[in-house]
Structure 1
Amino acid sequence: MTLLTIQNASQRSRLSEPTLRYYEEVGLIGPIARDERSGHRRYRERDLDDLQVLACLRAMGVGIEDMRTYQANRAKGREAAGEQRDILNRHARRIEQEIETLGVHLRYLEAKAGLWDARDRGDAAEEAVAADRVNALLGELEAVMA
């Protein structure tokens, strides 16, 4: 059985060493085996599987409590399948909302850049059109920021 140092586990999971320690502290992983002589953590392949799942969830903005539930449900298998689906669907809806919000932000920034571009070129007609675009987006922007 191959045992990995925290540095190796960090590199393979793409989670920082402090994050690995924190995840063990809050019970998301582990307990992690320790070297009998040095007391240093030694990660098993199974630990890395858990870390890779957590790294994916973290990258998607899933919070610690949902990570904890997701990890516990992995061990339950099929009996927890519905709850796993619900957790993932809830976060998928959250990401859809974030994408919608970012789309509004992007359109606003592009419109505002177009306004400044028209000003830079001294094109008063295009500046007026760009100002109308910016003003039209302000309501959308306010709605997503509320």
Structure 2
Amino acid sequence: MSFFNIGEAAKKSGIHIKMIRYYEEQGLITKLKRSEAGYRLYQENDIQVLLFIKTARELGFSIIEIKKLLDLWKNKKRSSQDVKKIAQQHIEKLQSKMDELKSMLNTLENLVNCCQGNDRPECPILEKLSRIYNI
């Protein structure tokens, strides 16, 4: 059975050492073995967990969602319905964020189109921003 120190685990997973420690603090990585000197020792299955976390983070899942997904992943008697529910809820959150971003983009594009972009001081972009924040 091979063991890796945190630096090797970071290299194998592509996750920064500080993030690995953070994931441990959050309870995403558990039951690590320790060397006689007290250093964390990672096994291949720990690397797989780190890769799972990395992929889930790349998809925008929160730490809480990842914890739930990890628990389901480790539970061989899980219901795929539970996994799908978490993923579906995440899709809804992403869709909401996309809608917000599209609205922001449209507003900014309209303002840019209204701005002459010349030597004159009038600028609808600044006017709109000052109205938003009552400057």
TM range (shorter): 0.7 to 0.9
Shift of 1:97: 1.2
Give deviations 1:36-57, integer Å, cap 9, x for gaps: 2x22112112111111111222
Question: What amino acid maps onto 1:71 in structure 2?
Answer: L
Give the corresponding residue for 1:17. 17
Q: What are the residue-to-residue correspondences of 1:106-121 with 2, within 5 Å?
A: 106-116=105-115, 118-120=116-118
Give deviations 1:77-106, integer Å, cap 9, x for gaps: 353311111111111111111112111222
Give the corresponding residue for 1:73. 72
| Structure 2 Cα separation of the partners of residues 97 and 41 of structure 1 | 40
| Structure 2 Cα separation of the partners of residues 7 and 115 of structure 1 | 53
Give the corresponding residue for 1:139. none
Partner SS, residue 102 of structure 2: helix
Q: 1:11 to 1:107 in 2, by over 3 A?
A: farther
Give the corresponding residue for 1:7. 7
Q: What are the residue-to-residue correspondences of 1:1-146 with 2, within 5 Å?
A: 1-36=1-36, 38-77=37-76, 79-116=78-115, 118-120=116-118
TM-score (norm 1): 0.70
4+ residue runs of structure 1 moved beyond 6 angstroms? none
Q: Percent sequence identity over matched residues?
A: 23
Any gaps of 5 or more consecutive residues in structure 1?
Answer: 136-141
| Structure 1 Cα separation of the partners of residues 85 and 44 of structure 2 | 28
| Structure 2 Cα separation of the partners of residues 121 and 96 of structure 1 | 40
Contact between 1:29 and 1:50, CA under 8 Å: does it hold in 2? yes
Question: What amino acid maps onto 1:120 in structure 2?
Answer: N
| Structure 2 Cα separation of the partners of residues 14 and 101 of structure 1 | 31
Give the corresponding residue for 1:138. none
Q: 1:115 to 1:121 in 2, by over 3 A?
A: farther
Task: Answer 1 or 2: which has greater helix percent.
Answer: 1
Question: What amino acid maps onto 2:15 in structure 1?
Answer: L
Shift of 1:12: 3.0
TM-score (norm 2): 0.75
